[in-house]
Amino acid sequence: MNPHGKVAFVVEHPYVDALACFREAIKLLADNGWHVDLYTRLTSQHQAPSFERDRVRLIPISVTPRGAIELVAALGLRGYDAIFTVPQWSLHYALAGARLRGTPVIYISDEIIAETELGSPAERTRKARERREHAACALTIALSSVRAETIRRENQLPASHPILVVPNSAPAPAVRVRSHYFADTLDLAPGTFIALHAGGLGWRPTEELLRVAAEWGEQDPMLVMQGRLHAQVAARQDAARVRYARTTLPSQLLDYAVSSAHVGLALYDDRKLNDRVMGTASGKLNLYLKNALPVITTALDCFEFVESAGIGVRVAEVAEIPAAIARIRGDYDGYVRRARAFYDANLDFTANFAPVIAALEQLKSGGKLRTAPAGSIRAHATPTAASV
């Protein structure tokens, strides 16, 4: 690989290193000789992303008219081989900068914005613009197979537009380290069985979970909420079977903390299209499996593989969680073994991102990406159980 290749990531979200689809892509590209400039927002509520690599440069941006002009100028002047970006603000200005030099743009579909869920005319106008600009991109990265199909339909992409599927996960192998982090920091009794929610708290399934768990008794698991932002947990009160982890952890320490839990909860809002096609785009799900935790998910079709692979249980409502945990505990070592094997077989970021690097090299050399008959460079099947 040419060690002098240079790419930009334009991601206005101020939590870039919290999501593997950004964090691991940046790290892997740097490790493969690419110079990476990350344009992102920095806020007092989020830890600044850290990649510990000389080839990665952090460039703060502001989501303002002046910030947009400065971003477009920087992208046009610095001469990148490709620009990775996300909808919608980032895509608009990344594409504007890319057009100054004819730079190819790679669209990372981290969130699907469904037109049927939009309310105002302004939102619908932005969606129409996103469709036009998405079609102008050289390549799309979808985070699950079902999302690839949905993105093509929702954004009205032509059949010739290439889509690669790269699950939102970290490099293999899955490893469960010896850890008592939550028991020690939350003063839990030895042997307490911990059901973990790791991620944001501001959404419907989480609030419903907290209401139900407040009534759990001593025979039920301990629910631990590891939030992404301190502000989301600062004013909340612990309950008999609910504990809030009030230390916001950097991505480097999450594995150690997660390994001290026993089951991971990945609950989603079945009223939203983005959630109904989540699958391997779920950062929570993949974080748990990376640490060999069995999982409990919402009973959505996109999570059918959770049960078929024997790595967890789906629930129709949060009241079913204690029974789901009892089912997992009945074969706990088997669930752990299958979770580890499944991750290694299906969710290794290094293997899944390799076609993106190959496409990037092709774009850098000025070639046009070749597409498979289905419109994807790489056919990515639904995850399956690994042999254990």
Q: Is the domain of 20 the same as that of 157?
A: yes
3-state class of 264 per DSSP?
A: strand
DSSP tag of 239: B
- Whichever domain contains 192, its CATH number is 3.40.50.2000
Asked whether residue 372 is assigned to any structural domain, the reply reads no
Q: Is the domain of 22 the same as that of 143?
A: yes
Distances (CA, A) of 164 to 81, 138, 265, 361: 19, 11, 27, 15
Asked whether residue 374 is assigned to any structural domain, the reply reads no
The strand order across the sheet containing 295-298 reads 242-245, 222-226, 194-198, 263-266, 295-298, 312-315
Say if CB 320 and CB 326 are below 8 A apart.
no
Asked whether residue 174 is assigned to any structural domain, the reply reads no
The overall average pLDDT reported for the chain is 91
pLDDT of 372: 45
The closest of 143, 142, 169 to 24, measured between CA atoms, is 169
Q: What gap in Å lies between CA 185 and CA 182, rounded to an integer?
A: 5
3-state class of 39 per DSSP?
A: strand
Q: What is the pLDDT along the chain (388 residues), one digit of tens a residue?
A: 445 699 999 999 888 888 999 999 999 999 999 999 999 998 877 777 888 899 999 999 999 999 999 999 999 999 999 999 999 999 999 999 999 999 999 999 999 999 999 989 999 999 999 999 999 999 999 999 999 999 999 999 999 999 999 999 999 999 999 999 999 999 999 889 999 999 877 667 888 899 999 999 988 999 999 977 666 777 788 899 999 988 888 777 899 999 999 999 999 999 999 999 999 999 999 999 999 999 999 999 999 999 999 999 999 999 999 999 999 999 999 999 999 999 999 999 999 999 999 999 999 988 777 654 333 444 344 566 554 4
pLDDT of 4: 66
Total domain count, the chain: 2
The closest of 111, 142, 144, 110 to 383, measured between CA atoms, is 144
**What is the span of the domain harbouring residue 52?**
6-169+349-364
pLDDT of 18: 85
Q: Is the domain of 13 the same as that of 161?
A: yes
Q: Is 87 exposed, middle or buried (0-12, 13-18, 19+ CB in 10 A)?
A: buried
pLDDT of 378: 40
Q: Is the domain of 219 the same as that of 97?
A: no
pLDDT of 376: 42
Asked whether residue 299 is assigned to any structural domain, the reply reads yes
Q: Is the domain of 254 the same as that of 341?
A: yes
Q: Is the domain of 150 the same as that of 232?
A: no
Asked whether residue 43 is assigned to any structural domain, the reply reads yes
Extended beta strands in 93-231, E state: 105-108, 139-142, 163-165, 194-198, 222-226
Q: Is the domain of 16 the same as that of 165?
A: yes
Can the peptide bond before residue 322 be classed as cis, meaning omega within 30 degrees of 0?
no
Contact partners, residue 244, CB within 8 Å, separation at least 6: 224, 225, 227, 233, 236, 238
Q: Is the domain of 210 the same as that of 80?
A: no
Q: Is the domain of 332 the same as that of 360?
A: no
Q: Is the domain of 319 the same as that of 243?
A: yes
Q: What are the backbone dihedrals phi and psi of residue 249, each rounded to the nearest 5 degrees, phi first?
A: -100, 140
The closest of 192, 254, 188 to 227, measured between CA atoms, is 254
pLDDT of 384: 61
Asked whether residue 176 is assigned to any structural domain, the reply reads no
pLDDT of 374: 37
Asked whether residue 98 is assigned to any structural domain, the reply reads yes
pLDDT, one tens digit per residue, over 289-312 is: 999 999 999 999 999 999 999 999
Task: Tally the C-alpha atoms within 13 A of residue 267's C-alpha that lie toward its C-beta.
Answer: 25
DSSP tag of 236: -
Q: Is the domain of 204 the same as that of 89?
A: no
Q: Is the domain of 338 the same as that of 355?
A: no
Asked whether residue 63 is assigned to any structural domain, the reply reads yes
